[in-house]
Structure 1
């Protein structure tokens, strides 16, 4: 965005004590009155943490100069907007409006409410915030403080479900003879508005690189779009070639310091092999 909003706010840091452990002022090991928002196994945060997060976003300083920044903060606000507009929680809204009708039965927020732990991949052994293996709970710290549901993080899925959703995007919002999203809406999100300023991204969607550095193999069409995730995920759709490519990993397990798939360009190299096989 060009809104001067900060890229990221580590909300959780202010909830740690002098030993960098979850402060008892903010957390309880049991679900009790006033501590009903679960952030991890046997760890619950105060119910008013949500208000504190939104207040901190509202009062956060803006950058002094106008320049492009990748930020997750607007998606915190987007969740609130959607829930107020549709008058239902985000996790219920997306299940009823999209995931269930499209047949994405393994896509959900709060996966432990639906699936056993052996069906869920762990994401990290957390030594800096929750002090445990993060398994079945959202990896993102801010989304965890909101109870696992946010506009920027918290969604669990598998490759088959994500492929259905990306195929729906590729088909201009249509899937199974049903129009989920208007084509003109998808076009608005899949447009590179600041390419002339060397900013490749659309609205929500990432776009192919404009130079040698970027998320893809460099061999995709400029009409293609997708997203790469912090924990090691990648989803990309190319309408020109009618290709949907999904790569899922838990590269942050056991530690987020593991950057091997990034350093070795694994996701984009596999994508390049797919395109090369078509040309051959």
Structure 2
């Protein structure tokens, strides 16, 4: 199986050390955070410098909306996806139209500034238990999440961006935050199959997902030994074989405590690869990132590029003056109140 690394940088521009680090062929992607953003013009310059260094490098960000929006000042302030679920309760057609337009606006604005993908949408169900998910989820009911996320993805695609669904097979029922500790979910597979897995299954069948990011959660009734992102049973047997997913599988951030439970960086990388992850995501720890890059190189794992995930810009430079921008912004206007 082919594999690559997605890493990060510390500042607002590339340093000499960043350039040296990013020139390593094992690195195929770069994820940006709030610390990498000052204003839209600076972001454009940063993305241009990255593409100049390595044109094939995929640039990613978490720009979901609500609490999780890395670029804020100078960008459209996106609502939490729960707002769409609330609209859905009163008017399904309006909610689906707004979801499409919101997906388009998010994607078009990122692409305009040089970013290829946002890790979106969140397909988790909100059971009212998980503080880390909460209003990041569209709704509690699988049917609502499926319909709203499918419309959102269609909007992303219309703007030229591929979708990455998270957090497989569903993070919404656990209380613990996997950024800080290792959560467990004791529900049966049958329960997950009738609820959390429905949006993933249907969107895979509809060929709407280019990539999936698994949860750093242990589902004790299915695989008590590994989190989903380190579980061959979840990723190979269920996601690949049973559900027929053929896209990329990202590891979630291998620096998180949920991942740290699986050993040092080189061990985590090996476990993620063995489980079936194509893209090893490592953030905030350059030493750990370099250890993972070295592991990929020393073990001579075949490399994969992320060209198929690159954005496909469909508009010229006048995004904010385009009819499409105004049309989609108008459709979503009530969401910004």
**Same topology, TM > 0.5:** no
Higher RCO, 1 or 2 (CA under 8 Å, sep at least 6)? 2
Bigger fraction of residues in helix: 2
TM-score by length of 2: 0.27
TM-score by length of 1: 0.31
